[in-house]
Structure 1
Amino acid sequence: MPKFENLVKGQMQIMDQLLFLQEEIERCQEIEKELLSLEKKAQLVSIQETIAEKRKDLAVIQDLFQKQTEQVIQAYQHIETASSP
C-alpha cells in the first residue's frame, strides 16, 4: 500500500507542475500578444523562445505524468489482486 500512496503523491506533484507550466505559457502568450500589438520585435522573439521552452518542458512533464499514471494503475491492480480470495 505505501508504494501506491507514494505513486499517488508523486502524481499530485506532477499535476502541480503541469498546472504551473500551463499558467506560465498562458501568461507568456498574453505578453506575446501585447508585444505584437506594440510591434516590439526583439522582445517578441524573446518571449516566443520562452514559450517554446515552456512547451517543451510541459511535454516532458506530460509524458512523465502518463508514465506515473500507468504505474499507479498497476499498483492499484496489484493491491486488488492481492486482496482477492
Structure 2
Amino acid sequence: MKVFNELIMDQMKTMDQLLDLQSEIERCQDLEQELIKLQEEAKLDSLKNEIKLMKKELDTIHKTFEEQTDNVIRQYQKLKILTEGALT
C-alpha cells in the first residue's frame, strides 16, 4: 500500500505541475494576443500616417494641376486674341 500511496502522491505532484504550467501557458498566450493586437495597432497607425502623407501629396498634385489648368486657359486666351487680331 505504501508504494501505491507514493505513486499517487507523485501523480498528484505531477498534476499540480501540469496545472501550473497550463495556467502559465494560457497567461503567455493571452499576452501574445495582446502583443499581436498592439502590433496590429502599430501597423494601423503606420497606415494612417502613410495615408496622411499620400493625402498631402495629393493636395500638392491637385494644386499643381489647377495651376497648369490656369496656365493653359491663359495661354489659350492669348492665342485666341492673337489669332483674332491677325484675322482682322
TM range (shorter): 0.5 to 0.7
Partner of 2:46: 46
Give the greater-gyration-radius structure (CA).
Answer: 2
Give, in whole Å, the separation in 2 of the partners of 1:61 and 1:70.
14
Shift >4 Å, 4+ stretches: none
- For structure 2, which runs of at least 5 residues remain unmatched after alignment? 1-36
TM-score (norm 2): 0.51
Aligned residues: 48
Identity of aligned residues (%): 30
Partner of 2:61: 61
Give, in whole Å, the separation in 2 of the partners of 1:47 and 1:71.
36
TM-score (norm 1): 0.53
Partner of 1:79: 79
Superposed displacement of residue 77, structure 1: 0.5
RMSD: 1.5
Identify the structure with bigger relative contact order (alpha carbons < 8 Å, sequence gap 6+): 1
- For structure 1, which runs of at least 5 residues remain unmatched after alignment? 1-38
Give, in whole Å, the separation in 2 of the partners of 1:66 and 1:59.
10
